[in-house]
Structure 1
Amino acid sequence: MLPERTFHSSELPPADRFECWRTLMAETHAPMELRSDHVDMFWARQRNISLGEVTVYPLECNPVTFSRTPKLIRNSDPEAYHLSLVKRGAGVVTMGREVRVHSAFEYHTSDTSRPFEVSSAREPIELIGVEIPKALLPLPPRIAGQVIHQRISSRDGMGALLATFLDQVTRDSHTYQPADGPRLSGVLADLVASLFAGVLDADRSLPPETHRRALTLRIMAFIRSNADDPRLDIPAIAAAHHISTSYLHRLFQREGGGETAAGYLQRQRLSRARRDLADPQYEGLPVHCIAAQRGFSHASAFSRAFRDAYGMPPAAFRRQSLGRRGAYASPA
């Protein structure tokens, strides 16, 4: 699994909780002043997940105020950008003379080289934080700096794609190997750069390889969202992204990790059908109906593809999976 550090305030005496969490935040982010009206009974839950040079951290805590002052900047500046995907709660962000309110399903951004103050509202907050070195972001600092402090939605476009990526990494962090960390940080840096560039409509500032990777990630997300549609095929995928089928193939050759676009689509459909076949909820549903629900137009083609992928016909896999479940079930 990825290197990870977990903090639960409930495991500490109430008098020590806030100070211990403040120490953790100083290691996670650039040094900040932290204040809270709940110091005596402070509550926080945080996981710091290391992706090499990038840290991602799901955080839930009582209302708190974060301040990055000029003095702290002079004393220590790790030269990094911070993003918070706000999942619950709201906060007031002050940067210079500008004051903005950030609510759920938005990104808050800051720069360790610029003073700011963030005060959460009276309710607890939940977010996924990201600390990314400026040198890792494939975007000129003059461009990236213009995005800081702007309100950015996570409900659509690149904001939604980045949110999906962060949710998946934090949810499934135990399934990745330590060697995956640098690769994940590269993908994350490209997504953040694409998000920033999109906010400013400055796509020309992105390196070509970042464009390709971001487009490939968008296409993969599109395939995952529409894989159950039997009409989805390579021409339809290319048309939805206003590219030719030949360029789609070249994208996957460069950025698909050795998998073709057609192979990625089929793998999505097969994995979902496999999950359904092992689910007792669908035990009475014929195999060919499950195949149809998962985008396969022909039952025979589904059976061949399933056998090639998993080493046995789908009906045999179902019997084996449901039989194994039954063997461990408690007697009535």
Structure 2
Amino acid sequence: MEKVFDSNDFPARDALSAWAEATADAVMPTSFKLIGTDIFRGWVTTMPLGAVQVSAMAYSSYLTRRTPRLIRASDPEILAFGVTSGSHVIEQNRNRAALRPSDLLLFESSRPFETYADGGCILIQFPRTLLPISPRHIDELICRPLPGDQGMGRLLTSFLTHLTEDSTSYTPHDAARLGTIGLDLVTATLAHFLERESGIPADSRQRVLYMRITSFIERHLGDTALTAGEIAAAHHISVRSLHRLFHQHGVTVRSWIRGQRLEHCRRDLADPLKRHVPIQAIAAGWGFPHPADFTRAFRTLHGITPSDYRNQAHHHGTQAGTPS
């Protein structure tokens, strides 16, 4: 994520106007009025993903409007779909939505809207023409709160949250691929709420199915009894179809599960807050009930034993935190 704006970089008297300018470029032009304060605090980061963009932002209380005049002056003709935190009330397309934290909301740049906002949001935005759903059906969901903590909504929310928290540097190829995945998830989520899943293009359905399955597996990594049959049954497909789906992504079901378990173990071993948790307990928690099997698998992958890896990680962390 690239920082676009931080109110700490501006004098207090200039922060709101700088915010308006930054969000006009990053999202769309709107007007702002502070509520209950004379000092604006907020920040915006963005991640371009080809024709798609993900933005994360936080802000103090304000009222924002996108007026017909602003639309005539500049309309990128985009849809924005986002998950909110804090308190938000938005009116657009003759609908009024009072959002709870974790609610998803779809809105567009080509119609006026008015929003009371206090908190933050993560947005994925894209040209309306890229969404393979008819405009008539899209209009049914404009400015209607949708649950982001269950089903397809949770999968989209997890994807957006992971992108904004991940410090990985992506190549242009990675970015384009992530943009495709994001648009697939938006399409599947909206089609789900419209009960029109059958209208999603076949390749998009396959990519979303893969993400649904890998998300399911990640939630059950600690289950040592997790099998391909159980995974397939939970997603109403055959075991053969499951293996074929993973083969299309260059991995087997078993190797993907094993890789994820080892990666979660590695993160926990390097976490200073878990330095006193026994290695055996960490391994068992991620699906390795036999210490010898875990040690062997970890050493094969990383060329070092789990205990040595933990010692090195904490030693380097201590050095990094020591004043020079």
TM-score by length of 2: 0.88
Please state how far the C-alpha of 1:250 moved relative to its aligned partner.
1.6
Match of residue 79 from structure 1: 77
Please state how far the C-alpha of 1:160 moved relative to its aligned partner.
0.9
Please state how far the C-alpha of 1:253 moved relative to its aligned partner.
2.4
The whole-number CA distance in structure 1 between the counterparts of 2:314 and 2:167 is 28
Match of residue 242 from structure 1: 236
Please state how far the C-alpha of 1:61 moved relative to its aligned partner.
1.1
- The code of the aligned residue for 2:120 comes to E
Deviation per residue, 1:268-317 (Å, 9 max, x gap) = 11112233444564557364x54333212444443442233122444554
Matched-pair contact (CA < 8 Å) for 2:213–2:235 = yes
- What pairs with 1:126-165 in structure 2 (closer than 5 Å)? 126-165=120-159
Which of residues 238, 256, 264 is equivalent to 1:264?
256
Match of residue 307 from structure 1: 299
Match of residue 172 from structure 1: 166
Q: Percent identity among equivalent residues? A: 34
Please state how far the C-alpha of 1:318 moved relative to its aligned partner.
4.7
- The code of the aligned residue for 2:28 comes to A
Question: Which runs of 5 or more structure 2 residues have no equivalent in the other structure?
Answer: none
Please state how far the C-alpha of 1:37 moved relative to its aligned partner.
3.4
Matched-pair contact (CA < 8 Å) for 1:144–1:197 = no
Match of residue 23 from structure 2: 25
In structure 2, relative to structure 1, the CA distance for the partners of 1:253 and 1:137 (3 Å cut) is farther
Matched-pair contact (CA < 8 Å) for 1:138–1:210 = no
Match of residue 53 from structure 2: 55
Question: Which runs of 5 or more structure 1 residues have no equivalent in the other structure?
Answer: none
In structure 2, relative to structure 1, the CA distance for the partners of 1:28 and 1:229 (3 Å cut) is same
Aligned residues: 321
The question of 1:218 aligning with 2:212 is answered: yes
TM-score by length of 1: 0.87
- The code of the aligned residue for 1:66 comes to T
Match of residue 99 from structure 2: 102
Say which is worse superposed, 197-206 or 318-327, in terms of deviation: 318-327
Match of residue 292 from structure 1: 284
The whole-number CA distance in structure 2 between the counterparts of 1:322 and 1:13 is 40
The whole-number CA distance in structure 1 between the counterparts of 2:30 and 2:58 is 18
In structure 2, relative to structure 1, the CA distance for the partners of 1:325 and 1:70 (3 Å cut) is closer
Say which is worse superposed, 197-206 or 140-149, in terms of deviation: 140-149
Please state how far the C-alpha of 1:138 moved relative to its aligned partner.
3.5
Please state how far the C-alpha of 1:42 moved relative to its aligned partner.
1.6
Please state how far the C-alpha of 1:321 moved relative to its aligned partner.
4.7
Which of residues 103, 113, 116 is equivalent to 1:116?
113
Please state how far the C-alpha of 1:267 moved relative to its aligned partner.
0.8
Please state how far the C-alpha of 1:323 moved relative to its aligned partner.
6.3
The whole-number CA distance in structure 2 between the counterparts of 1:244 and 1:162 is 25
